[in-house]
A and B are shown apart, each in its own frame.
Chain A
Amino acid sequence: MIIRSVIFGVLACLSLVPAGFAQDNRHLLDSKESLYNNIYVYEDPPYRSMTFGHNKRIYTESMYNTGDDRDLPVDYTRYMTATLMYAKDVHAILEIGFGGGRTAWYLHRFLPKVPVTSVELDPAVLDLAKKYFGIKEEPNFQVVNRDGRLFLSESKDKYDIILIDAYRGPFVPFHLLTKEFYQIVKDHLADGGVVAQNVEPSTMLFDSAVKTIASVFPELDFYRADGNIVTVAYDGPTRNAEDLAATARERDTAFGLRYGLQDMLAQRRRIQIDGGKVIDANAKVLTDDFAPVETLKTIERHNRKLP
């Protein structure tokens, strides 16, 4: 799983000194050139981070507290678990984009009876996660090495919660951000199921992503985390704040969650998607036919306030 926050210090350093100097207090544990990424694992006790290098920028994909495997040091990964107060039942959870596996492992630790499946494209990412990020093979915890969309298209299973966090450094594979993809996701949601997507809100890709998700799921809530936004989408009757609060209270107690759902609920935001005030009226729904994700990624958002 991927943290969208570019380390801005590195950016600043680019013009002055080599990027490597920004990593002073971090010790490089391992690095691997995989089929898809240049992966670096750094240690800065007690934390370990998995980063992908792209054009001298370092994109942190995952952060692990070696002393505490239930810690979610990265803000947005906590909000991915807000889905727990939306789902009607919690019998099966799927994650697309495993990375260092922190979110999936957190859910597995607090909900040991619920099968958690995570899909990851890059086999080297899985190897490093097992080697350095405390990921073990355990009952009810399964990691699959596969393209996320392929996995879903071929799967007959349904899930109550689907978490989507598939990034390759700064990029999102286009086939994981189209209307057709979200339709496949919807087909794999159990009754009352919910999907969360981690999106980076600084470019026009955000507007198109939101419109695309909204084209398949009528209900869309937003959670703002440090530099990222987590969207929670679902079909069926609207969950208002009271319903969510009741479920949050119940599940906070039932699962003994470290990051309380009730606290997260306070951060819930709704966005007026139509009307062009927040989301650009000209932003297009992405489809398998038309999905210029790389281009949208280069256009900065201007003057449109996020919640």
Chain B
Amino acid sequence: MTEVSRALLFSIYLCAFVVGGVLMGFEMLGSRYLFPYFGGGIGTWASLISTVLCALAIGYFAASAIADRLRTPRTIALAILIAAAYLAFVPLSADPVMSGILDRLGDGPSAVLLASTALLLAPLSLLGTFSPIAVAILTRSAAEAGRVSGLVYGVSTIGNVVGTLFTTFTLIPTIGSRSITYVFAVVLACCAGILFLPSGKRIS
């Protein structure tokens, strides 16, 4: 039986909130990247939403596969860091990628799905591993599983809500989509940093 330090507990819940916020914030931003190329139709939204849910499913399954062996803050820190790096490349690469897809595949459902996949799938799958692994780190007995997972998912979902609203009503009207993407990348990198800190080690 191991104890989880207060500092680690705090950083995991903080990151659950922030990562949840960035995840949905980036979905909202996705619309700003896709609309100029694929139009503002309902098909574009359907592609975005389904891609985000696919990414979450992939993240959950991947986490489920590795959680038993790799349930350390470092694992999620690494996933978040890679996602941050991916986001940092999006502002400069999005336009050539989108126009390349539009030129080759047109604007049908497969093209919009491919575009939202290129934009969202990899980073959001990585972020999707967060909650299951966080639950694995924080749970020390079967009796706790429900309480811990409820807390982690609750905090993360509140993060989703805040991320959606804050991005839509504050960030998009204030700074450009590319700048917001860089902000998200930096925020994620900070989360990774917090989880990499020495206090992020399990104390036995």
Give chain A's interface residues, CB within 8 Å of chain B: 35-36, 121, 146-147, 149-150, 153-154, 173-175, 178, 180-181, 287-292, 294-295
Contact = CB atoms under 8 A, between A and B. Distances in A.
A181 B41 CA distance: 16
12 contacts: A36-B41, A147-B107, A150-B37, A150-B38, A153-B102, A173-B35, A174-B35, A289-B176, A289-B178, A292-B172, A295-B169, A295-B173
A290 B177 contact: yes
A183 to B, nearest CB: 11
B172 A149 contact: no
B41 A35 contact: yes
Given A147-B40, A147-B41, A153-B102, A292 B173 contact: yes
Nearest to B171: A292
Given A150-B107, A289-B178, A175 B39 contact: yes
Interface of chain A: mostly helix, strand, loop or mixed? loop
A299 to B, nearest CB: 10
Contacts of B174: 292
A149 B107 CA distance: 12
A259 B106 CA distance: 40
A149 B173 contact: no
Interface string B100-120: 001000110000000000000
B39 A289 contact: no
A175 B177 CA distance: 13
B41 A290 contact: no
A91 to B, nearest CB: 27
B40 A173 contact: yes
B98 to A, nearest CB: 10
A277 B172 CA distance: 27
A178 B42 contact: no
Given A153-B37, A174-B35, A175-B35, 6 more contacts: A35-B41, A146-B39, A147-B107, A150-B39, A181-B36, A288-B32
B175 interface: yes
Given A150-B107, A289-B178, A180 B173 contact: no
Contacts of B172: 292, 295
Contacts of B36: 149, 175, 178, 180-181, 288
A152 B140 CA distance: 59
Nearest to A173: B40
Contacts of A292: 172-174
Interface in B33-61: 35-42
Nearest to A146: B39
Contacts of B39: 121, 146-147, 149-150, 175
Nearest to B107: A150
A282 to B, nearest CB: 13
A24 to B, nearest CB: 34
Nearest to A178: B36
A294 B37 CA distance: 20
Given A36-B42, A121-B41, A289 B177 contact: yes
A17 to B, nearest CB: 32
Nearest to A292: B173
A121 B35 CA distance: 13
A175 B102 CA distance: 16
B40 A290 contact: no
- Among B32, B35, B37, B179, residue most surrounded by chain A Cβ atoms (within 10 Å): B35
Given A150-B107, A175-B35, A35 B176 contact: no
A287 B91 CA distance: 14
A150 B44 CA distance: 13
A54 to B, nearest CB: 16
- Among A35, A36, A288, residue most surrounded by chain B Cβ atoms (within 10 Å): A288
B178 A35 contact: no
A133 to B, nearest CB: 23
Nearest to A150: B39
A288 B175 CA distance: 12
A228 B177 CA distance: 30
A34 B169 CA distance: 26
Contacts of A290: 175-177
Contacts of B37: 150, 153
